[in-house]
Structure 1
Amino acid sequence: MEYSMENTKNAKKQNLITKTYKDLIKYKEFIFLNSKYELKAQVANTLFGYIWWLLDPLFHMLVYTIMVTVIFNARMEGFAVFVFCALLPWKWYTSTLSNSANSIKSKMGILNQTYIPKFVLPLTQSLVNFSKFLFGLLILFPMIFIFKLDLSFHFFEIIFVIFINFLFLYGSSLVIAHYGVFFKDLKNLLGHVIRLWFYLSPGLYSLDQIPESVRFLWWLNPNTTLFESYRNVIMFGSSPLYMPLAILGVVSLGLIYFGLSRLNKYDKSYLKMS
């Protein structure tokens, strides 16, 4: 009996993965076009257009730098870059998670007319905000020159950090997209949770400032691994935190599978919620 149940679970898991892969291939053009449309729509009524994707993280960095170094009189060499290494991925987080909460609900009009695999909608949000993240990375190069940072070959290891970052965000966005259909206030609640999450992450302060007795709690926060890894490859010329990143990668794959299974199970129920 146990052997039969295990075979059934494995078959369901394999069917889910196979179905997702086939849908991904089938709807790849829709994903590309929808992502392109979302990108254009976000800058359609703005004066600076795509330049805002550079200005937004830059302004946030300036505000936090002035607040910490001038108002609180804290001193840290290259603090602006230190903050930027956290703020840029953080902007990626906030936009992706916030938009994913409504990614299915906002497309109910289309979903009532034609079938679209639901995992495609949070994937679009992840790709759109990933594009903005890459655009924001352009600010790094003049900052590296201004603050006289020595780049090493470790900088290219940022690709692995970004990959794990994307997996974690996509897994989270799948889960949030599912529950966002059933809980109308989820997006508003997320705004407060995300804000608190940032202050509990080493974005404006270093881990050295956390008492050693409780520092292990910060390592339970995925942002610690990601922020520290970005800083290692950008600021300190060293490798990212491969072991914690690998663990986060496994957790992210678990989130992706859980999110896909929820979206697949409730696929036909979402339309009833509109």
Structure 2
Amino acid sequence: MNNVSSRSQKNNVIANTIHNFNKYREFILFSSKYELKAQVANTFMGYFWWLLDPLFHMIVYTIVVTIIFDGRMEGFPIFVFCALLPWKWYTATVMNSANCIRSKLGILNQTYIPKFILPLIQVIVNFLKFVFGLLILFPMMYIFNIQLSVHFFEILFVIFINFLFLYACTLVVAHFGVFFKDMKNVLTHFIRLWFYLSPALYSLDQIPESVRFLWWFNPNTTLFESYRNVVMFESSPLYFQLSILGLISIVLIYVGLLLLNKNDKAYLKMS
């Protein structure tokens, strides 16, 4: 009996998610547009900040590594940029998702909104900023004499897996962010540590071979290396590792949806 009940609940979660996604599709689009406009409403540069922000970060890290620490690598700025752009997508999305349910509890007490939608909006908003930032890649590839190969179009698969992984993370973070007020503070330090343990400013070749395998447990390694393959090295992304990451992400998305569905009413009591 328990197995039947459990299976029924799982099926209901999937069915309800699909139903609510279709029902609230316009709300998702409207909220994403509103969020984008709100983020640039009080800035002089407006949407250009989405180009300048990752560009400035790339310049700073390039100066630090190549000049101060005397690091040498051909095309290093674009090497860093291929990691910084998806990393900015990740950090902005996860940090915003930590408070995306708690900050709207007043509205949620008055109007029902499926909770999985709120972190999804954050992923979409920052995905659009990520796509906007991709525009910088083309002049950079020209400057550093990097050829645009047919493999570049395989970036779509990398982005798709990146999207799945991000959404999986935001669902879990959004859930715990309701009950744990210091979630953002904890995430700030965790994300900073995670960045330096990811091959963003250095290549895997610089890691001692005896411990290099540990870096492959880091999802960023698969993502960063795949972006660099299609952009810089005229080769395919790491399909095998990406597929594993995709499967893990789907499982985590499912777990996140279960958490949000199970605690739907409990969230409202936290207001």
The bucket for the TM-score relative to the shorter chain is over 0.9
CA distance in 2, matches of 1:186, 1:109: 20
Which of the numbers 143, 151, 156 marks the counterpart of 1:154?
A: 151
CA distance in 1, matches of 2:5, 2:210: 46
- 1:217 is aligned to 214
Percentage identity across paired residues of the two chains: 72
- 1:24 is aligned to 21
- Residue 112 of structure 1 deviates from its aligned partner by 1.5
Confirm whether residue 188 of structure 1 aligns to residue 204 of structure 2: no
- 1:8 is aligned to 5
CA distance in 2, matches of 1:10, 1:147: 54
- Residue 261 of structure 1 deviates from its aligned partner by 0.4
- 2:106 is aligned to 109
- 1:85 is aligned to 82
- 1:165 is aligned to 162
Could you list the per-position Cα deviations for residues 218-260 of structure 1 after superposition, in whole angstroms to 9, with x for gaps in the alignment?
Answer: 0000000000000000000000000000000011001100110
- Residue 172 of structure 1 deviates from its aligned partner by 0.4
Confirm whether residue 118 of structure 1 aligns to residue 123 of structure 2: no
Unaligned regions of 5+ residues in structure 2, if any? Answer: none
CA distance in 1, matches of 2:125, 2:102: 18
Runs of 4+ with >6 A deviation: none
- Residue 106 of structure 1 deviates from its aligned partner by 1.2
SS of match in other structure, 1:269: helix
CA distance in 2, matches of 1:7, 1:227: 42
CA distance in 1, matches of 2:109, 2:175: 17
CA distance in 1, matches of 2:40, 2:203: 35
Unaligned regions of 5+ residues in structure 1, if any? Answer: none
CA distance in 1, matches of 2:108, 2:41: 24
Which of the numbers 239, 244, 247 marks the counterpart of 1:247?
A: 244
TM-score, normalising length: structure 1:
0.98
- 1:42 is aligned to 39
CA distance in 1, matches of 2:220, 2:184: 20
- Residue 188 of structure 1 deviates from its aligned partner by 1.1
TM-score, normalising length: structure 2:
0.99
- 1:207 is aligned to 204
- Residue 110 of structure 1 deviates from its aligned partner by 1.3
- Residue 108 of structure 1 deviates from its aligned partner by 1.5
CA distance in 1, matches of 2:146, 2:15: 46
CA distance in 2, matches of 1:10, 1:270: 24
- Residue 151 of structure 1 deviates from its aligned partner by 1.4
Q: Which amino acid aligns with 1:60?
A: H
CA distance in 1, matches of 2:133, 2:198: 21
Confirm whether residue 136 of structure 1 aligns to residue 133 of structure 2: yes
